[in-house]
Structure 1
């Protein structure tokens, strides 16, 4: 058990919630065994969550309740980039015919705040998905507009272990790419996050030049190639990012 958390009971509650999400539903004994906790501890946490309506009890089984949907929805509404981008992301999905998304950086990770369109089986990305920043077109669009020292700190914490054979494997390679991204205001992921998929992203920048997020389009490598990737889809993404950035500055 990680003892670095200031409040262990809060950490235990979230471990139980995540275990329920992984399993769909589970009983006290199953959770206690999986998490190496006493049945009494698991039972007390579940009862508290149940009374607060965050979990649902069905016989002796528990599952995560839909109250988390309300929490997630309100959390997303609190993100300025989401309020400015949601309509444009929907238009981007329609005009590209691919999956369009809004991505922000949280805790050194690329977080997919809104995902719309695309084929259901083309990618594992969904609302709330998290990816290493350096493996992701949107993540690189954000990294390119952060101070170099901050980028190094993020990379030190995350490392270069994730991704595919096409992912930047060291700082020198990545920083060279980030310089190009910063100059062109567009970033690409050519099967770096996942084999068989490609993405193009553009940063959402404020008047002071910081990126508060990025918009991207992701599709299969078969469709996202050549002129369609380099010009058509890129043009749509950059146009959407510019429009959102203007709204953010107003």
Structure 2
């Protein structure tokens, strides 16, 4: 009997963590306990540990959502090419002839974990590991658009909408309206919103619950690609994001 207790505790913790990570969060204690099949008392103890270790986050109003450590684990999974993500990104680059990236959520921003450069002489000045503003990049907006509304609002409350260029969204109502259109279209674009002369298009990588765990993006230079041409990349970018989702 004694030997089975640690395993039972691990199972409880995993069930609670899975309930916390559902896409419709953040969640109240009672909902987490019900969905995980763990008693409220045990759920509360597990949540206290998860929050302390950074795998869950409390919103101060009795609800719990994903913590930064959990998001970092998702990023590490995406960075590991055991599932063949590089092959999908290389195929997209060869099809469109532009720079291709994979970005993942990282706290209140996104981070590139993969990059495939184009073959032509012009290179996009982006770095793997560099933070990306969610409100001003195609990848960031693709992630924001598919977060639960309350979670996306909380991110914007914390970060604000700082102007990166004259084209950056600094009006929150306008951005929220665009995020709704992104959800409907399945892709996001930015045309010199984060950096002058750079444009991007991105589609979200979703897990089985519809939670955004990454975004596939294609970037180019505005003197090479018009806004109409950029939008024309959408079917290929969406297909690549769906391919990555299936491989995960």
TM-score higher than 0.5 here? yes
CA distance in 1, matches of 2:86, 2:193: 26
Structure 1 residue 126: Cα displacement: 1.3
Distance 1:203 1:170, change over 3 A: same
- Identify the residue that residue 133 of structure 1 maps to in structure 2: 134
| Contact 1:76-1:82 at 8 Å conserved across structures | no
Instruction: Classify 1:81/1:184 alpha carbon distance in 2 versus 1 (closer, same or farther; 3 Å).
Output: farther
Name the counterpart of 2:107: 107
CA distance in 2, matches of 1:141, 1:194: 17
How much has 1:89 moved relative to structure 2? 1.1
1:1-250 map, 5 Å: 78-80=76-78, 83=81, 84=83, 85-118=85-118, 122-231=123-232, 233-248=233-248
| Separation (CA, whole Å) in 1 of partners of 2:74 and 2:208 | 23
8 Å CA contact 2:78–2:113 kept in 1: the answer is no
Change (3 A) 1:144 1:77: closer
TM-score, normalization by structure 1: 0.64
CA RMSD of aligned residues (A): 2.1
Q: 3-state SS of the aligned residue for 1:165?
A: coil
The 2-side partners of 1:77 and 1:176 are apart by 28
Contact 1:141 1:186 in 2 (8 A): yes
The 1:157/1:92 distance shift into structure 2, 3 A limit, reads same
Q: 1:100 offset after TM fit, Å?
A: 0.2
Q: Which secondary structure state, in structure 1, belongs to the residue aligned with residue 104 of structure 2?
A: strand
SS at match of 2:200: strand
Residue 30 (structure 1) aligns with? none
Structure 1 unpaired stretches of 5+: 1-74
Gaps of 5+ in 2: 1-72
- Structure 1 runs of 4+ aligned residues shifted over 6 Å read none
SS at match of 1:135: coil
Equivalent residue of 2:127, what SS?
Answer: coil
Secondary structure of 1:160's partner? coil
Tell me how many residue pairs correspond in the alignment. 173
Q: Is the 8 A contact 1:110 1:139 kept in 2?
A: yes
**Secondary structure, counterpart of 1:167 in structure 2:** coil
